[in-house]
Structure 1
Amino acid sequence: MKKIAVAALFAVMTMSGYAQSGTNSPYSQYGLGVLSEQSNGFNRGMNGLALGFREHNQVNYLNPASYSAIDSLSFIFDMGVSGQITNFKEGNTKVNANNADFEYAVGGFRVARHVGMAFGIVPFTNIGYNYASTNNLVTSSAPTSSAATTYTNTLSGDGGVHEVFLGAGWQPLKGFSFGANIGYIWGSLNRSVVTSYSDAYVKSLARYYTADVRSVHFNVGVQYTQHLNKNDEMTLGLTYSLGNKMTGDAVMQDISTDSQSSQSDTTSYSIGDAYRIPHMFGVGIMYNHANQLKVGADYSFQKWSGILYPTYISSNGQRDYVLRDGVYQNRHKFTLGGEYCYGEYDRRFLRRVKYRLGVSYATPYYKINGQDGPKEYSVSAGFGIPIINSINNRSILNISGQFVRTEATGMIKENTFRINIGLTFNERWFAKWKVE
């Protein structure tokens, strides 16, 4: 058992060097970036539905109480990638962008009767954008016959936050389970705004915002299953994640460069431990009929309101970088979804395929110039395809497609089509060999 635990942790540390998740959204310049869906292969087809699910052959890290349902004699390892195409629309202007990323890697196994463990690396937030706009500026500083000057604002950013975790779940009583994850969150937040002018006599301006953040993250979950009759049962799931400070300085550099002499004036500002993660609550319910039809609903709440955000202020010749209230707001998310499989162990292949569907709606967690940020509407569908060969007949290929619409009044509209592919390896590791 010790060898397995060491191997699992080594795998996590190795994957952390390669795990990346990204976005092309200009909305990722706000807050901590675009929040990750925090889902893996089996529930992405249900748009992230998870809190009431107890899967014996999948790692459901969104509710650690579910680890107690993992099969004995099994070692499960799940990893996934995604590819997406996004259309951005503002007025009559449309632009397309695409990217593909390695998303997550998680694993789980049973360590004792009714006790399971899990580990993994998952994305928490994503930052990735690069766009520019050019406008006219009238100035009298240039000794030319024309006073018309153009200026270009270029905004770019990259980075994001990831989490590596280790968790356990225990079922002390029939129908009741609880579990916990302890994780380490880390990442970099890099953003810049550069203003350049066509008039060589006007100084170019640049502001660079950077932060390297890290924190311990702790979340707990419980599940209670009530059997209604021989074929039907209901499971209630509850989760809570502790909010706390993220250590690391938020740094802003204000740079003014003379285009003629190439000399620069730099002013630096710094705020210690400027970022926080919020308290998070979740509740979900799942109805299971004969282990064929599973339908459920999740609600999650993130308490962002009241958290301060580092903001650059320039007024009446005074400039400063301070923590400001009123940037964040509480976030709500609702998800409905389900899965159907005629028979997980049926001899006919098509009857063993899992069919999934889900929809969700989420409110923004930040404001833009005092106005609510974009709301998110999404729908997904997918399949869990069993992998059957002479070596293994318990692994699953999870494929899903997802459409996401992100919009706010008077702002950029985003339409994203995403393909998610996850491969769940389910190996029989703990059986004792017998010699005849």
Structure 2
Amino acid sequence: MIRKIVIAIVYISTVGMYAQDGTVSPYSFFGIGDLNNESTVENQMMGGIGVYADSIHINLKNPAAFGKLGLEVMDREGLVTYTAGVSNKQFTLKSFTEEQQSSITNLDYLALGFSVGKGLGMGFGIKPYSSVGYNLVDERTVSGNSLVNVYSGEGGLTRVFYSVGYEIFKDVSIGATVNFNFGTLDSERLQQVEDVQFGTFDRRSSRVNGFDFNYALNYSPIIKGRNRLHTSIRVNTQGNLVSKNDRQLGSFSVSTGVNIEEVEVDLISQNLKNTELKIPTTTTLGIGYGEDYKWFIGAEYSFQEMSSFENAFLGAESIVYEDASSFALGAFITPEHGSFTSYFKRITYRAGLRLDKTGMLVNDVDINNFGITFGLGLPLGRSFSNLNLGFEFGKRGTTRANLIEESYFKFNVGLSLNDRWFQKRKIN
């Protein structure tokens, strides 16, 4: 049964990756694209918080949580946890006068975590970091003539990571993740004037790569009886990305679409051939309370100095970056995780909400995002493995100032599979 589920998820992921870009959001026009949620389905359905850690789930947002793998599970030396997630997102894009609908299917993450020894865990994996996928039309009248600009973009960045977490003292864990980001960002602008035979194009491409690091400190003592306090502080250091750029200018026939002329721009003389993209540091504070594997409620606050971000090569005139922040609240309850009589009592029920101030000020309007999440963790047999289903309703942007309002519904499917490595053979 588990094998069939894995095959289905891999198939859906492959179809999604080859079918279209990772986003259709017009706001992927800015920065390095639309940033993807970096957490597993389990965490996403609790508003995306990463303060909670246990011994049978990988926490992609909190490297200190890797130190918990296998700690509280009986006879689980050499515990290995595999996790994978896919999502389908339905968009409704609305301007002041029009409305369109679209959808995308993506592979969200593939990761593996394992317990090396008591209190020491490691993991690695791959996940999309940002996605670009937009097609925008700007029509205006200049000197009595109709001027049309068509903006389009595709690409994005992928992230591979390696994490390690260690419980240095009882209830105190530290962790670190090294991320390597790489990918290509492509954009194009086509310009056409009414009754003019030829149009012009401006194509830009950036090949981006670079590292950033994520550090975490968790403190989770027992407070009363079986109840535990969860606290964490995480710092995702400034990402120093290098961008190797190319740009072509030219003209094309409006009637046939064939290029008439194409010129490679000398970016070296403009000091734009190789540029730096510095993604500002993000700091996250988290706190929660609950009983292990039974119930939990927690909250997180993140802040980032996005006002210092700049993309000199792919910069847009209509945007100003301000400091970004995010607030998230999440909870789960498992009625009786060890029940032998009722499957429904072993199901984990999750819910949460989040409010993101993205730091983007477009046409002097703040672009904010609000989402409500909920989901189920379905046990697979009597093992520690589970199938996770998640749902999210959200809204980003506004129709004011000629902008686009995004309403979306996201459906997630994730697997968390547990197995053992290094199991010694026993001969009777």
With normalisation by structure 2, the TM-score equals: 0.86
Instruction: Indicate if the aligned counterparts of 1:206 and 1:256 stay in contact, CA closer than 8 A.
Output: yes
| Deviations 1:358-415 (CA, angstroms, capped at 9, x unpaired) | 100001233324x244100000100000011xxx622110001101100234321110
Instruction: Indicate if the aligned counterparts of 2:250 and 2:259 stay in contact, CA closer than 8 A.
Output: no
Given candidates 397, 409, 428, the residue that maps to 2:420 is 428
Instruction: Indicate if the aligned counterparts of 1:305 and 1:326 stay in contact, CA closer than 8 A.
Output: no
Please say if 1:105 is aligned against 2:110. Answer: yes
Which 5+ residue runs of structure 1 have no aligned equivalent? 1-14, 140-148, 313-321
- Matching residue's letter, 1:184: F
* Structure 1 residue 217: Cα displacement: 1.7
- Matching residue's letter, 1:416: Y
Instruction: Indicate if the aligned counterparts of 2:58 and 2:83 stay in contact, CA closer than 8 A.
Output: yes
The whole-number CA distance in structure 1 between the counterparts of 2:132 and 2:254 is 30
Q: How does 1:136-151 map to 2 (within 5 A)?
A: 150-151=146-147
* Structure 1 residue 240: Cα displacement: 0.8
Q: Summarize the Cα distance change of 1:311–1:324 in structure 2 as closer, same or farther, 3 Å threshold.
A: farther
Given candidates 202, 215, 228, the residue that maps to 1:207 is 202
- Matching residue's letter, 2:385: S
Q: 1:33 is matched with which residue?
A: 33
Secondary structure at the counterpart of residue 201 of structure 2: strand
Instruction: Indicate if the aligned counterparts of 1:19 and 1:104 stay in contact, CA closer than 8 A.
Output: no
Q: 2:69 is matched with which residue?
A: 70
Instruction: Indicate if the aligned counterparts of 1:31 and 1:366 stay in contact, CA closer than 8 A.
Output: no
Q: Alpha carbon RMSD of aligned pairs, Å?
A: 2.6
Instruction: Indicate if the aligned counterparts of 1:311 and 1:324 stay in contact, CA closer than 8 A.
Output: no
The whole-number CA distance in structure 2 between the counterparts of 1:326 and 1:207 is 19
Q: Summarize the Cα distance change of 1:359–1:214 in structure 2 as closer, same or farther, 3 Å threshold.
A: same
Instruction: Indicate if the aligned counterparts of 2:250 and 2:260 stay in contact, CA closer than 8 A.
Output: no
The whole-number CA distance in structure 1 between the counterparts of 2:89 and 2:242 is 32
| Deviations 1:185-238 (CA, angstroms, capped at 9, x unpaired) | 11111111111345244x312111210100022111010012111121101111
| Deviations 1:151-171 (CA, angstroms, capped at 9, x unpaired) | 432221111111101111001
Secondary structure at the counterpart of residue 32 of structure 2: coil
The whole-number CA distance in structure 1 between the counterparts of 2:61 and 2:307 is 23
Please say if 1:380 is aligned against 2:377. Answer: no
Determine what percentage of the aligned residue pairs are the same residue.
24
* Structure 1 residue 265: Cα displacement: 5.3
Please say if 1:416 is aligned against 2:408. Answer: yes
* Structure 1 residue 82: Cα displacement: 0.5
Instruction: Indicate if the aligned counterparts of 1:214 and 1:248 stay in contact, CA closer than 8 A.
Output: yes
The whole-number CA distance in structure 2 between the counterparts of 1:118 and 1:88 is 38
Q: How does 1:179-258 map to 2 (within 5 A)?
A: 179-201=175-197, 203-257=198-252
The whole-number CA distance in structure 2 between the counterparts of 1:290 and 1:158 is 43
The whole-number CA distance in structure 1 between the counterparts of 2:316 and 2:45 is 39
Q: Summarize the Cα distance change of 1:262–1:38 in structure 2 as closer, same or farther, 3 Å threshold.
A: closer
The whole-number CA distance in structure 2 between the counterparts of 1:350 and 1:430 is 33
| Deviations 1:272-293 (CA, angstroms, capped at 9, x unpaired) | 2232221111111121135411
Secondary structure at the counterpart of residue 48 of structure 1: coil
Please say if 1:117 is aligned against 2:111. Answer: no
Secondary structure at the counterpart of residue 402 of structure 1: strand
Q: How does 1:10-49 map to 2 (within 5 A)?
A: 22-49=22-49
Q: How does 1:287-326 map to 2 (within 5 A)?
A: 287-289=289-291, 291-310=293-312
Please say if 1:401 is aligned against 2:391. Answer: yes
The whole-number CA distance in structure 1 between the counterparts of 2:317 and 2:336 is 55
Larger Rg: 1
The whole-number CA distance in structure 2 between the counterparts of 1:136 and 1:114 is 66
Q: 1:349 is matched with which residue?
A: 343
The whole-number CA distance in structure 2 between the counterparts of 1:325 and 1:156 is 16
Secondary structure at the counterpart of residue 49 of structure 1: coil
Count of residue pairs the alignment pairs up = 397
The whole-number CA distance in structure 2 between the counterparts of 1:324 and 1:127 is 18
With normalisation by structure 1, the TM-score equals: 0.85
Q: 2:328 is matched with which residue?
A: 335
